Structure 1
Amino acid sequence: MGIYKAYDIRGIYPGEMHEETAERIGHALAAYLKTKMIVVGRDARESSPSMSRALIRGIADAGTNVVDIGQCTTPMVYYAVGTGKYGGGAMVTASHNPGKYTGIKLCRELAIPLSEVAGIREIERAVAAMKETPAPSADRGLVAQSDILEGYAKHVRSFLTVPKRPMKIVVDTANGMVGKFFRQVFEPWPLEVIPLYFEPDGRFPNHEPNPLKDENIRELVAKVRETKADFGAAFDGDGDRCMFVDEKGERIPSDFVTALVARRILAKERGASVVYDLRSSWVVKEEIEAGGGKAVRDRVGHAFMKATVRKLNAPFGGELSGHYYFRDHWFADSGMIAFVHMLNVLMGDSRPASAHSAPLRRYFATGEINFHVRDKDAAIEAVTKKFADGRQDQLDGITIEYADWWCNVRKSNTEPVLRLNLEAKTAARRDEILKTIIGIVGPPETEGGH
């Protein structure tokens, strides 16, 4: 797939992506954005300091000023761009990928993402056209450092809308960037935080920073049960995602989190739109509508979700992958703000976390299942024909719906796989349809994509 992905630029360091790549991307980004100032941040990977310096050098050599905010989370870059009214931002990170990877996430003014739809392909072409790294401009840009933590902490805390009460929470930041800032952000609140892997370490020695995979939340689950915590939270490597387990250590599916947060927000903004991705349970649409909101179904991917949330001025949107989008955070995602909204749900009600999610467990889902298939289009077409009498749409891959079950089969935006999500009114029906689809597509592989 190359290093230029659907939502970011990412590859193995230094074989696929290195400092010269980053410097040239800096030149191309400055030329594309045509702005006076770009924010740059970085994660804790061992390659990130040198990759960040190279990126900054390229931007400045192209004649654009840089605000270097140092180690940070991706949502902190969005905050810096939004509050500073800067023309764009770049985060040196490979997100949830293992430590051998490097990457860059990009946005323009107002934290609007660059993606393959707008921006990344143009930068790819510009870099490809460079026979060598361009010489510095005669009017080289200036580089200034900035510490934004105090302002960002206040921004995150501003999303709490219920009276604070003591809670015991296990938090796993996976040696990613959230651990560096979590205590300072939430120190004023009466939270007993039991930390797991708070020390930033870009080698990720304890587990991959991808909370979608059950294997990466095993310690979190065990610690929640051991300490009798109220709930647990797991962040990814760059802090734009957060996932949750209840007081029993059971995962609260991310679409259930979307439903719970939506109901809380709609209690104050009845009639507002809430955007959810098409992999989400029937429960999400039902809960949004029961709360007086307009349920808006969208295709998978942060570039698409952010655009729809912004277009509708929706206060909130959620994806099955654990990305949650907030109007008052420049329509961008933030794991810490999602954490605060979970506090709104649980602090605002004396019931345990499991009692909130239990009523939502009214259907039977497979979770997201991956298939390695040579001819993905042919596989999708075969599934489409098999269930031709069902309601179908092609918003993203193929979605098929019957009275008692539905499924979506789509090509991943980030990996060379097909992804299946299937839900039914009974476990038996779910298993029956899954067996049929496996018979068409072939054996499944692993969990944990997005």
Structure 2
Amino acid sequence: MERHCFPPSSLREYDIRGIVGETLGEADAHALGRSFGSVVRRRGGLSVAVGRDGRLSSPALEAALVDGLMAAGCDVIRIGLGPTPMLYYAVKALATAAGVMVTGSHNPPDYNGFKMTLADRPFWGEDIRALGALAACGDWEQGAGTCRDADVKARYVARLLEDVRLPALKVGWDCGNGATGEIVAELVQRLPGTHHVLFADIDGRFPNHHPDPTVEANLSDLKALVCAQGLDLGFAFDGDGDRIGAVDGTGRVVWGDQLLLILATALLRQLPGASVIADVKASKVLFDGVQALGGTPIMWKTGHSLIKAKMLETGAPLAGEMSGHIFFAHRWYGFDDAIYAALRLLEALGDLNSSLADLRSAMPALVNTPELRFPCPEERKFAIVAEVLDRLRAEGADVDATDGARVTTADGWWLLRASNTQAVLVARAESSTTAGLERLVAEIDCRLAAVGIVRAEAAHG
């Protein structure tokens, strides 16, 4: 009987991810197609939409994936090159039973992977681990599915614009040579105001800068454009277009939780009392701000699939992550779409009759670290966080274990959690004073040193 064993490190909590040629290859893509296709068939589905990002390895991985899906008896609709949110949209618009996106997201160029959705719900956690078990024992459906192409780009752009009310602003758009390029280039031609687009050519080598808007260095070109052209604001997108970055008219970065607070401010005028979900890395300013606006803040685990599942559970119309994933279920479909989030932010600026810079300046002035990353062996990272959490509880610390350890002290709060996408531990801290922040970071260092992890200065990059 034919079987396949995935490298354990590639089966992540909310997607499949690996280094091409090392922990991910065409055989894995084909086996994933057979396994996921078998799940689709056994749950009564037949059609699967498939898209891919602009990475150099994506066409070959997509072809192998499609072959595997057809071998399981699924009918595949290939939507081609574009952002991940366009794949999510295609599942809705084409009424397919499921969807798979071939994407390495914001990871380095030699990475790639797969994001999946099934029956209008995210496919994650135990679902993904079950795929590995199916492949390991060759428990696959047999069939001879079909394959056809469908171009949904024009429909997607039209839907993005369908119900947003946009002011005429001067805006910069940095696509970072990622998968959003063609869509953004088409979109801005239909927007009011003045628009400047950077790096719209889709190129998986990412020749200008890496498409990860959570790293401030990657926003330098956008900052320079905004300042040189006197723009009102600028947007940047990650490699597959489900995460947003932004700078205001002064060139100052407006981070994911700050964007979410602005979006929540506008939303809560329309939906008083609504719930707003944010991940554990978000600022206290966000949670306090939603509360002050009469909304219901919910702190939840980091991860796009985990956030989407929580939205379905709670009925929240808006959610977001510090990393720039923004999810609208209000007038949208509940998935993370950075381009749509950009349009809703423009709409919010019009509704609030304010600039992004003024709204950012009005927020309480706290000091915080960027996302700190500590290299850690894949097989140890979750155990290390569990050990730190056990010690904190034994000491009677004020700790929230929603996702890792978020510890509140007199100085503010600090967070330690294991990344679900890379072999790293992730930390963050926030305080009202610089001295307080230094004490929080020192505590993180102390906690990690106690379990054998020493911070390298490079981890701050």
Scaled by the length of structure 1, what TM-score is found?
0.92
Q: Kindly state the Cα deviation for residue 386 of structure 1 after the two structures are TM-superposed.
A: 6.2
| Contact in 1 for aligned 2:14/2:306 (Cα 8 Å) | no
- How many angstroms does 1:349 deviate by? 4.3
Tell me the equivalent position of 2:297. 295
Answering whether residue 120 of structure 2 is matched by residue 105 of structure 1, we say: no
Q: Paired residue for 1:144?
A: 148
Q: Which runs of 5+ in 2 are unaligned?
A: 1-7, 449-453
Return the alpha-carbon distance in structure 2 between the equivalents of residues 88 and 150 of structure 1.
21
Kindly state the Cα deviation for residue 159 of structure 1 after the two structures are TM-superposed: 4.8
Residue 25 of structure 1 contacts residue 55 of structure 1 at CA under 8 Å; is this kept in 2? Answer: yes
Question: What is aligned with 1:438?
Answer: 445
Change (3 A) 1:382 1:50: closer
Match of 2:451 in 1: none
**Match of 1:329, SS?**
coil
Offset at residue 48 of structure 1 (A)? 1.6
- Between 1:398-407 and 1:417-426, the stretch displaced more is 398-407
Alignment of 1:7-26 (within 5 A): 7-26=14-33
CA distance, structure 1, for counterparts of residue 112 and residue 436 of structure 2: 42
Query: Structure 1 vs Structure 2: percent identity of aligned residues?
Result: 30
8 Å Cα contact 2:392-2:399 kept in structure 1: no
Q: Where does residue 196 of structure 1 map in the other structure?
A: 198
How big is the shift at 1:69? 0.6
Q: Deviations over 1:33-78 (max 9, x none)?
A: 2211000011112222222121111111221111111112111111
Q: Which AA in structure 2 matches 1:265?
A: L
The answer to whether the 8 A contact 2:266-2:351 is kept is: no
2:29 counterpart of 1:33: no
Cα displacement (A) at 1:437: 2.6
Deviations 1:141-168 (A, max 9, x none): 11121111222112212352x4x33211
- Alignment correspondent of 1:329: 332
Q: Residue 125 in 1 paired to residue 129 in 2?
A: no
Choose the corresponding residue for 2:287, options 285, 288, 301.
285
SS at match of 1:333: coil
Q: Indicate the SS of the match to 2:270.
A: coil
CA offset digits 1:257-298 (Å, max 9, x no partner): 111101111110001111111111111112111222111111
Partners of 1:440 and 1:20 lie apart in 2 by 41
Which residue type is aligned with residue 95 of structure 1? S
Give 1:33-432 correspondences, 5 Å limit: 33-34=40-41, 35-110=45-120, 112-115=121-124, 117-130=125-138, 137=142, 139-160=143-164, 162=165, 164-327=166-329, 328-373=331-376, 376=381, 377-378=383-384, 381-382=387-388, 385=391, 388-432=395-439
- The 1-side partners of 2:443 and 2:411 are apart by 15
Please state whether the residue corresponding to 2:342 is helix, strand or coil. helix
Counterparts of 1:21 and 1:383 in 2: how far apart (Å)?
A: 35
8 A Cα contact 2:375 2:459, kept in partner: no
* Residues 36 and 87, structure 1, Cα contact 8 Å, conserved in 2: yes
Q: Tell me by how many angstroms 1:446 deviates.
A: 2.5
Provide Cα deviations, 1:112-134, integer angstroms capped at 9, x if missing partner.
2212x232111122223349xx8
Structure 1: runs of 5+ lacking an equivalent: none
Letter in 2 for 1:146: A
Aligned length in residues = 440
Distance of 2:11 and 2:385 partners within structure 1: 25
CA shift, 1:8, in A, is: 1.5
Shift of 1:27: 0.9
* Range with bigger deviation, 55-64 or 402-411: 402-411
CA distance in 2, matches of 1:322, 1:297: 16
Change (3 A) 1:103 1:437: closer
SS in structure 1 of the partner of residue 414 of structure 2: strand
What is the distance in 2 between the residues matched to 1:147 and 1:2?
Answer: 34
CA–CA distance in structure 2, aligned partners of residues 363 and 159 of structure 1:
35
Q: Take 1:296 and 1:149, find their aligned partners in 2: how far apart are those partners?
A: 34
Q: Distance in 2 between matches of 1:51 and 1:382?
A: 39
CA contact (8 A) 1:373 1:379 kept: no
Q: C-alpha separation between the residues in 2 aligned to 1:47 and 1:433?
A: 41
Question: Aligned equivalents of 2:73 and 2:384: distance in 1?
Answer: 48
Contact in 1 for aligned 2:266/2:352 (Cα 8 Å): no
Q: Matched residue of 1:436: which SS?
A: helix
For 1:158, the aligned partner's letter is: E
Asked if the contact 2:47/2:77 (under 8 Å) is kept, the reply is yes
* Pair 1:306–1:383, CA change in 2 (3 A): closer
Please tell me whether the aligned partners of residues 225 and 248 of structure 1 are also in contact (alpha carbons under 8 angstroms).
yes
Q: Which stretch has the larger CA shift, 328-337 or 229-238?
A: 328-337
2-side partners of 1:288 and 1:127: how far apart? 45
Q: Give the root-mean-square deviation of aligned CA atoms.
A: 2.2
2:362 match: secondary structure? helix
Segment of structure 1 superposing worse, 2-11 or 169-178: 2-11
Partners of 2:220 and 2:412 lie apart in 1 by 31
